[in-house]
Structure 1
Amino acid sequence: MDHLTKLEEMLHLANDDIKNGLYDDATNKLEKIIDIDPGFGKAYNHLGYLYEVKFKEFDKGETLYKLCLEKSPMYPSVYYNYAVLLSTLGKWDELKELLDTAMNIPGIVKATIYNEYAIMYEQQGKLDKAMDFYKKCALNTLDKNTVNRAKDSLDRCKMKKELL
């Protein structure tokens, strides 16, 4: 088994631990991957997710996502995860820059990125811009659930506009 295959296998096992709620075990596996190969960016993304979502250590999560972007800038998952964190923290300028970059990453799901733009604008009260991006989200997917979620979000924005 070559070096990269071994690291991918370890990452897969860490993912299984995350799915099974074994966060400490997953953390240990991910830190071991980084010890073996500090340039293996995917491990930083998964660790960042754990620190952000499971341990609520947002600063540590952000640092880890930045490391992933530095080591593996073509890894789509980090763009989704880091976007959610930046949105949670209200770091709009950084979020816009991240989403602009994400749109050019091969394999990125554009509908998901459009949805993140829409959420960003909605949270800033820029409802017309948000609605434009919710429409782009719906029009750039073949998934019925994504279309329905975008329609619900459009309805929510329309209700907010009525309140203004």
Structure 2
Amino acid sequence: MDHLTKLEEMLDRANTEIKNGNYESASNILEKIIDIDSNFGKAYNHLAYLYEVKFKEYEKGETLYKLCLEKSPMYPAVYYNYSILLSTLGKHTELKELLDTALTIPGVVKATVFNEYAIMYEQQGKLDEAIEYFKKCALDTLDKNVLNRAKESIDRCKLKKELL
């Protein structure tokens, strides 16, 4: 078994631990992957997710997402995960830069990126821009659930506009 295959198998094990709610165990496996190969960017993404979502240590999560981007800039998952953290923290300038880059990465689901732009604009009270991006999301997806969610989001933004 080659080096990369071993790391991918360890990553799969960590994912299983995360799914089963064994966050400490997952964290240990991910730390071990990084000890073996500090350039294996996917491990940083998964560890960042744990720090952000499960441990609520946002700064540590942000640092780890940045390391993932540095080591594996073509890994689509980091763009989704990191964008949610930046949105949570209200870091809209960094978020827009990340989303602009995400649209250039092969394998990134553009509808998901458009949705993140829309949420960002809605959070900023830029409702017309939010509606435009929710429309882009809707038109770019083949998933009926994503389409329905985008339509509901557009309706929500229109309601907010009526209140202004």
Tell me the TM-score range normalised by the shorter chain.
Answer: over 0.9
Aligned residue-pair number:
164
> What letter is aligned with 2:33?
I
Please give the alpha-carbon distance, in whole angstroms, between the structure 2 residues aligned to 1:159 and 1:19: 37
Aligned-pair identity in percent equals: 79
The offset of 1:114, in angstroms, is: 0.1
Any idea what the Cα deviations from partners look like across 1:91-150, whole Å, max 9, x if unmatched?
000000000000000000000000000000000000000000000000000000000000
Structure 1 segments of 4+ aligned residues over 6 angstroms from their partners: none
Q: Does 1:114 align with 2:150?
A: no
Matching of residues 1-80 of structure 1 within 5 Å = 1-80=1-80
Paired position in structure 2 for 1:97:
97
Please give the alpha-carbon distance, in whole angstroms, between the structure 1 residues aligned to 2:78 and 2:123: 22
Paired position in structure 2 for 1:135:
135
Q: Secondary structure at the match of 1:129?
A: helix
Q: Secondary structure at the match of 2:24?
A: helix
Q: Secondary structure at the match of 1:142?
A: coil
Please give the alpha-carbon distance, in whole angstroms, between the structure 1 residues aligned to 2:113 and 2:73: 16
> What letter is aligned with 2:111?
A
Please give the alpha-carbon distance, in whole angstroms, between the structure 1 residues aligned to 2:55 and 2:152: 30
Paired position in structure 1 for 2:163:
163
The offset of 1:158, in angstroms, is: 0.4
Any idea what the Cα deviations from partners look like across 1:11-34, whole Å, max 9, x if unmatched?
000000000000000000000000
> What letter is aligned with 1:74?
M
Please give the alpha-carbon distance, in whole angstroms, between the structure 1 residues aligned to 2:71 and 2:90: 25
Structure 1 unaligned spans of 5+: none
> What letter is aligned with 1:49?
Y
The offset of 1:55, in angstroms, is: 0.2
TM-score normalised to structure 1 length: 1.00
**Pairwise CA RMSD:** 0.2
Structure 2 unaligned spans of 5+: none
Q: Secondary structure at the match of 2:141?
A: coil
Please give the alpha-carbon distance, in whole angstroms, between the structure 1 residues aligned to 2:84 and 2:75: 16
